[in-house]
Structure 1
């Protein structure tokens, strides 16, 4: 395609129009004010200049008041009640809307193809631009370890393990993207996981949203999407559902990393952030720094603590035999979760409760 092709120019024009440009707007405003002042000065020699000026200004002010306080709200209310139907979720189109967002971006779904290899880079450019404008980005996906994943798998006629893998691919992609953001933008991006099926999906940019429902036998993005205003009845309902799930959700970091404190009976304590997996309700952590620390201390003098574990108190550290079947199973689970390998695993065994 030649450099003079109209298609790239059209795309550039659309991208330019979507991007907020306050300095340019101020420049245009100043120019218009200067032109108005020049016209007023040139017409000052007219007869009855002051009377004509007062009459015209008064008429214009009345027009502005009527437009701002009467016509504007009527148009806004009519637009809020309007529902536009999309035959499917166009991820590229949504990413383009995100690019120009200045206040809020929200995504609620089981998992989403918008974070897949085909669309993720375009969306992330939009998120980077949106956070640069000060927009808050909230992404809420289903917890891969929740029962809701099993139920959603049955609805789709798929194995829950497949749904779980799709969610974890999304999480790995989002985790890598967060590392590419600067500190200010990273603080505006938050990814959480909910353990309850939302029943609906939400893709919001500023005051507009795409809303759909989790259907049986088909991914939500393949079905009809309703574009509504956030303040419309349907938009308000979905926003309330999002807020409820958000309050009950957990941060993505709690799924990917486990805070662990190792306490040596004779040599103080040290904190770690470990990758971890569960097998048969037992938690196993992996981390080169943790294993190295353990190698320099006596195991019978070490104990582990973590506020994130269901059982409080000191946990015993048990190194998994690297030639055992359990180790091979842990390697498999770890690779599925992190798309990486680990050389050693340590079980955090909870204290035994003694009852009379």
Structure 2
């Protein structure tokens, strides 16, 4: 993954000049109206006293606005778009717990799901779901080339693929076991494959954006705080929506299991099985398939796979033959570790989906 370019900061000078020009025309218009009103009212009794009284009141109001209200407004503007040196994990967890409308996360993987912050973050999500907050999360597929690229960017000092698998396993358990069924419709996790342009964490009207510098995790890089209506906020919001609907994006459930179809016709059987990708080959957890074919073995089986995407389009592939992986081979050890990392359990019967020779 290449390092993202820094976002274009808003051109504050140009915006300032534009506002000054608009204010000038407004002032000219208001001045003309005031001059006409003063001219028209000059014939009224006690004109001088009334004029002095009103001008005095207006002057006091102007002073209050300039010296009391304006600093608060200026401070609010600075807070709506600011820069931080790194990601404030504790602050984001607190904001997520207090969310009122939506939480959106676009990431490769989030260290909020690693041990030091996991329980606090999941508790914050539970609190948000109780308020019917809509939660949408996009995480990178561990099978995507971008995962290997990012591992290279981080000098292989971070187990990118393993950390992504950990995130997805934890979220799958959270969505399907740790929250009430009534809340499951308000949280959705999707897995994307395209190269991500930015990291984004959003709670309601605050958006935190960062990029992916070489040799530094995005949480320790510069963070840009903005809002959804700003130029940067609109840019990352559009990118989130594009990835959310992309044809290569899958739901968490589609990422979790694959459909394997054996034989055809009246003897066709379908299995939903766990799977991982290693070295561009697909390996499945084939306990049930092996058990159902214990008499003749799986060597003669011809299978195909059916995958889906967020658009509901089935992707049928094959035919494949099923090749048991030797338990003493290095490949078996690596694939078994990936399966354990993804599903959190051991004793997998590993079968490779092999192209017919």
TM-score over 0.5 (shorter chain): yes
Query: 1:318 and 1:90, CA in 2 relative to 1: closer, same or farther beyond 3 A?
Result: same
Query: 1:290 and 1:300, CA in 2 relative to 1: closer, same or farther beyond 3 A?
Result: closer
Once the two structures are TM-superposed, the CA of residue 299 in structure 1 deviates from its matched residue by 4.5
**1:255 matches 2:252:** no
SS of aligned partner of 1:158:
coil
Q: Deviations over 1:45-68 (max 9, x none)?
A: xxxxxxxxxxxxxxxxxxxxxxxx
For 1:49-88, list aligned pairs within 5 A: 82-88=80-86
Query: 1:343 and 1:152, CA in 2 relative to 1: closer, same or farther beyond 3 A?
Result: closer
Tell me if structure 2 keeps the 8 A contact 1:287–1:342. no
Superposition TM-score, scaled by structure 2 size: 0.67
2:169 aligns to what?
172
**Quick one: distance in 2 between partners of 1:113 and 1:350?**
37
For 1:262-273, list aligned pairs within 5 A: 262-263=262-263, 268-273=267-272
- Structure 1 gap ranges (5+): 1-74
Once the two structures are TM-superposed, the CA of residue 106 in structure 1 deviates from its matched residue by 0.8
2:307 aligns to what?
308
Once the two structures are TM-superposed, the CA of residue 325 in structure 1 deviates from its matched residue by 5.2
Once the two structures are TM-superposed, the CA of residue 270 in structure 1 deviates from its matched residue by 3.2
Once the two structures are TM-superposed, the CA of residue 151 in structure 1 deviates from its matched residue by 2.2
Once the two structures are TM-superposed, the CA of residue 351 in structure 1 deviates from its matched residue by 4.5
Superposition TM-score, scaled by structure 1 size: 0.68
Once the two structures are TM-superposed, the CA of residue 114 in structure 1 deviates from its matched residue by 0.8
**Quick one: distance in 1 between partners of 2:322 and 2:153?**
40
Over aligned residues, Cα RMSD in angstroms?
A: 3.1
In the alignment of these two chains, the number of paired residues is 276
**Quick one: distance in 2 between partners of 1:283 and 1:115?**
27
2:349 aligns to what?
344
Q: Deviations over 1:258-305 (max 9, x none)?
A: 12233466x633332211233443322114333322226664775423
Q: Deviations over 1:161-212 (max 9, x none)?
A: x211121121122122112122232222222222233232111011221112
**1:185 matches 2:183:** yes
**Quick one: distance in 2 between partners of 1:81 and 1:333?**
43
**1:295 matches 2:300:** no
Tell me if structure 1 keeps the 8 A contact 2:168–2:342. no
**Quick one: distance in 1 between partners of 2:321 and 2:90?**
50
**1:90 matches 2:88:** yes
Deviates more, 1:273-282 or 1:215-224: 273-282
Once the two structures are TM-superposed, the CA of residue 121 in structure 1 deviates from its matched residue by 1.3
Query: 1:130 and 1:344, CA in 2 relative to 1: closer, same or farther beyond 3 A?
Result: same
**Quick one: distance in 2 between partners of 1:312 and 1:257?**
15
SS of aligned partner of 2:349:
coil
SS of aligned partner of 2:307:
coil
Query: 1:294 and 1:227, CA in 2 relative to 1: closer, same or farther beyond 3 A?
Result: same
1:149 aligns to what?
147
**Quick one: distance in 2 between partners of 1:149 and 1:337?**
15
1:16 aligns to what?
none
SS of aligned partner of 2:273:
strand
For 1:311-322, list aligned pairs within 5 A: 312-322=317-327
- Structure 2 gap ranges (5+): 1-72, 309-314
Tell me if structure 2 keeps the 8 A contact 1:214–1:220. yes
